Amino acid sequence: MIRLITREEAFKRAESIKKENEAIYGVPFELEHRYLPLDVLIPTQWELSEKKLVVVLQEIVHGYDAPVIVLEHRGKYYILDGHHRAYARKKLGFSEIEAIILRPLKEIHTKIEESVKKAKLKSLDDIVIAKE
């Protein structure tokens, strides 16, 4: 059975990710809650489960609304959590998604840019759907 994260769990997960990143990078991070255009999101996962995607698509049609969690780094928005939700909303014709934005308050050195470049990920359109 596929279990989807709730709204409340997404906000708790964002707080947890914030604390983890503060410990890793030694700098404070802030969280911002707002809508972002789907076209500005950069995936960090190149493959999604078709089975889970079908469930997420159905749930969004019926009001499922857990926000995605993204890292803002050098003016770009990298998806940390919620790839299926973002991809599904794009496929359903939405132009925006509710997001919890994780933003470092000082410059950090992360390999996220290098990782997505190596995986050739520039947009949600670059994600592959894996059939099980």
Q: Work out the pLDDT band at 13, boundaries 50, 70, 90.
A: very high
* Residues 41 and 71: beta-carbon distance below 8 Å: no
- In the chain, the domains with their CATH numbers are 7-130 (3.90.1530.10)
pLDDT tens sequence across 57-110: 999 999 999 999 999 999 999 999 999 999 999 999 999 999 999 999 999 999
Q: pLDDT-derived band of residue 1, with 50, 70 and 90 as boundaries? A: confident
pTM, 2 dp:
0.95
Q: Which pLDDT score is estimated for 124? A: 97
For 17-20, the CB contacts below 8 A with 24+ separation are 17/69, 17/80, 17/81, 17/102, 18/102
53: nearest Cα among 45, 39, 70, 10: 45
User: For position 132, what pLDDT does the model report?
Assistant: 75
Query: Can you tell me the mean pLDDT for 121-125?
Result: 96
pLDDT digits (tens, 9 = 90+) for 23-55: 999 999 999 999 999 999 999 999 999 999 999
Rounded distance between C-alpha atoms, residue 95 and residue 89, angstroms: 8
